[in-house]
Chains A and B, each alone.
Chain A
Amino acid sequence: MTERSLPADGASLEAPSAGRGRVSSGFGRYLFKHVSGAAVSLLLVLFSSFFIFRLIAGDPIDQLTKERPVSAEQRAAMRAELGLDRPLWQQFWDYIAGTLTMDLGESFQYRRPIFDLIVERLPATLLLSGTGMVLAVLLGFWIGTRSGWKQGSRFDKGHVATGLVLYSAPTFWLGMIVILIFARYLGLFPVNGMRSPSTPPDFWSQAVDIGHHLVLPVLTYTAVVYAGYLMIMRSSILDELGSDYLTTARAKGLRDDEVRQRHAVPNALLPTVTLVFLALGSVVNGSIVTETVFSWPGLGTLFVNSIFYPDRPVLQALFVLFSSSTILAVLCAEILYWFIDPRIRRS
């Protein structure tokens, strides 16, 4: 899944050398290795996004004019206005410098700075997929732990089957069903957007209204992704099941649930840390389909609109944003491993 590698047991057999000094310089090296790795990945993302969207999006002027008759002079003027008449290397340089200084250019579609567009829509996305992701991870890990621990039980079979059905269901289809049941028939929740225009402007009314709108998208989103975390945690627990240290824990007289929570779960969680951070990193782009189904005013709908337009600068910026948040999340996971996995400090 990542380039992280646990040291083999044999590699850490000899006794430790004393001294805190070596430990901290070890951390320095570890940090440098992973930060520089992440920096290289970020640069690659930056380079490739510039060229990919130039290759696949076609001539922006054609798209902007949309087959309306325009004269050659008008086209040239538009080109100059958008900065497309300058040599490629200069455009590339502007793009790199701009991205690094948070000046992401202007959207073709909205004729506004992309940075403003993103800042405007980011909170809605974070709210929806952040909430959904946290719920999915907690739910998936909770069920996965118990499923794996009692492998083959009715609890296990039932939850794995349910989870996989939801996991394999297309998001838009599941969203439609959720809308049908909870909005059409039961009339419990709104299905469009993030707030109703009629809500009074005070904080509490607004919060309740947003919460009300949030229920169905979050439900859909969680239902689709939690099974992934369930299966990961389940197999991670299964890997621990026959371990000798669990026999030791049982021999000491611990109850079954104490053996599970105190010994099996901490060991089983270790390999899932990267995954959880990957999930956090994908929070910004994690809910594209859900946002579209529920017309949620977040980055996902912005992304879909920009594809249809096609709004190349916006796509380019979102691509960089989505990729870099994943890269940074993985970097955080690597750094965290230093602190939670005592074995890494020895390698």
Chain B
Amino acid sequence: MTLLEFKDLHVTYRGSRGRLPAVRGVDLRVDAGETLGIAGESGCGKSTLAMAVLRLLPKSAEVSGEILLDGEDLLKMGWGRLRAVRWTGASIVFQGAMHSLNAVQRIGRQIAEPILVHEAKTTPAAAAKRAEALLERVGLPPSRARSFPHELSGGQRQRVMIAMALACDPDLIIADEATTALDVMVQAQVLRLISDLVTERGVGLVMISHDLSVLSAVCDRAAVMYAGRIVEEGPAHEVFAHARHPYSAALGAAFPVIGDPAARMNPGGLAGDPPDPARLPQGCSFRPRCAVAVERCGAESPELLEVGSARVSACFVAQEGMPVVL
């Protein structure tokens, strides 16, 4: 059952320096109980995509296309309906937990707040109880409910954000770099917690990260984003082990395999600068950094087309069945 679906989503920021297309025609779907990973380098539009779901983008952002949550178009909802859907239909674990929490409010109150907003019958005492239970779920002592955000470590705050995202039992959770700031041990713990939730409650999960090892460990499917577009999508381990787009291949190569001295001495990386979304090249936006580009890449922009079972790629070379790495 399709839980979330983006249909030709465009987001353009209007700014003093002109128009900046951050998301340029994204089609994606997530089923209930499924985990979708989104990878891509900094600035490619991952957070913009996440924020668009609950219509949290600033006023300067123009959004077009459709975002269907349970079949209902979020972009066409009235304010009242939108507020009801926020946090109950979908919740977000925001990137940067330090600033996403209110510094002068105790965390117990911040976790209980959405419960009180959405469930009119719940008393403040009952909501506080549930906030404590949520803290326990993410491995924090319930007494932490009385702490202020600055009294917690970065990892603890991140777990508070996860507890908060669970507060109203949403159908969909979007985790934007939820584990990036954590050390490896805590990261593993948080990842286990998140995947348990998916299997236990059948929620849909969108996991945004630039860390491919995290995504391939947790996700069923993965999508790779480049300059505001999805360039490849497919089963997570397939995408990273056998990339069908030169950008995914480069992303995978940028993470050296532990214990492999050859990878250590010769870290894969990507030549050239990240794309400037305000001045994208004609044709394929990855072409200036691409080692396998052909003549056609400079003229036409490739569409996402099937390149294997349940896999799509926006690369002319891959679509012809040729290897994308030299």
Contacts and interface: CB of A to CB of B under 8 A. Distances in A.
Interface of A: 9, 12-16, 242-245, 247-255, 258, 262-263, 266-267, 270, 340-343, 346
B83 A342 contact: no
Contact of A244 (B86, B87, B96): B96
A253 B118 contact: yes
Contacts of B103: 245, 267, 342-343
B86 A248 contact: no
B153 interface: yes
B88 interface: yes
A102 to B, nearest CB: 40
Given A267-B104, A270-B104, A251 B86 contact: yes
B117 A253 contact: yes
A248 B94 contact: yes
Nearest to A14: B153
Interface in B135-164: 147-148, 150-154, 156, 164
Given A15-B151, A253-B117, A253-B118, A248 B100 contact: yes
A237 B12 CA distance: 27
A253 B114 contact: yes
Contacts, number: 86
Contacts of A263: 102, 105
A266 B154 CA distance: 23
Contacts of A341: 104
Given A9-B150, A251-B94, A267-B102, 19 more contacts: A12-B150, A14-B153, A16-B147, A16-B151, A243-B99, A247-B51, A247-B100, A248-B94, A250-B56, A250-B86, A251-B86, A251-B91, A252-B87, A253-B85, A253-B118, A266-B102, A342-B148, A342-B151, A343-B148
Contacts of B85: 253
B56 A252 contact: no
Contacts of A13: 150, 153-154
Interface residues of B, number: 35
Given A16-B147, A244-B94, A341-B104, A253 B99 contact: no
Given A15-B156, A252-B86, A253-B88, A247 B150 contact: no
Contact of B117 (A242, A254, A266, A267): A254
A342 B104 contact: yes
A347 to B, nearest CB: 10
Nearest to A248: B100
Interface in B249-272: none
A253 B84 contact: yes
Interface string B175-188: 00000000000000
The dominant DSSP class at the B interface is mixed
B101 interface: yes
B127 interface: no
B218 interface: no
Nearest to B113: A252
Contacts of B92: 251
Nearest to A7: B150
Nearest to B167: A252
A252 B118 CA distance: 9
A263 B103 CA distance: 9
B54 interface: yes
A245 B102 contact: yes
B150 A343 contact: yes
B83 A255 contact: yes
A248 to B, nearest CB: 5
Nearest to A269: B104
7 contacts: A244-B94, A247-B94, A249-B113, A253-B87, A263-B102, A266-B105, A346-B151
A15 B99 contact: no
Nearest to B157: A13
B98 interface: yes
Contacts of A254: 83, 113, 117
A20 to B, nearest CB: 13
A248 B118 contact: no
A258 B117 CA distance: 10
Residue among A242, A248, A262, A263 with the highest chain B CB neighbour number at 10 A = A248
Contacts of A343: 103, 148, 150
B56 A251 contact: yes
Residue among B92, B114, B150, B154 with the highest chain A CB neighbour number at 10 A = B150
Given A245-B101, A245-B102, A245-B103, A251 B54 contact: yes
Contacts of B101: 245, 248
A173 B56 CA distance: 49
Contacts of A244: 94, 96, 99-100
Nearest to A250: B56
A77 B102 CA distance: 70
A251 B87 contact: yes
A14 B58 CA distance: 32
Nearest to A254: B117
Residue among B98, B103, B156 with the highest chain A CB neighbour number at 10 A = B103
A266 B103 CA distance: 10
B100 A245 contact: yes
Contacts of B99: 243-245
A15 B101 CA distance: 16
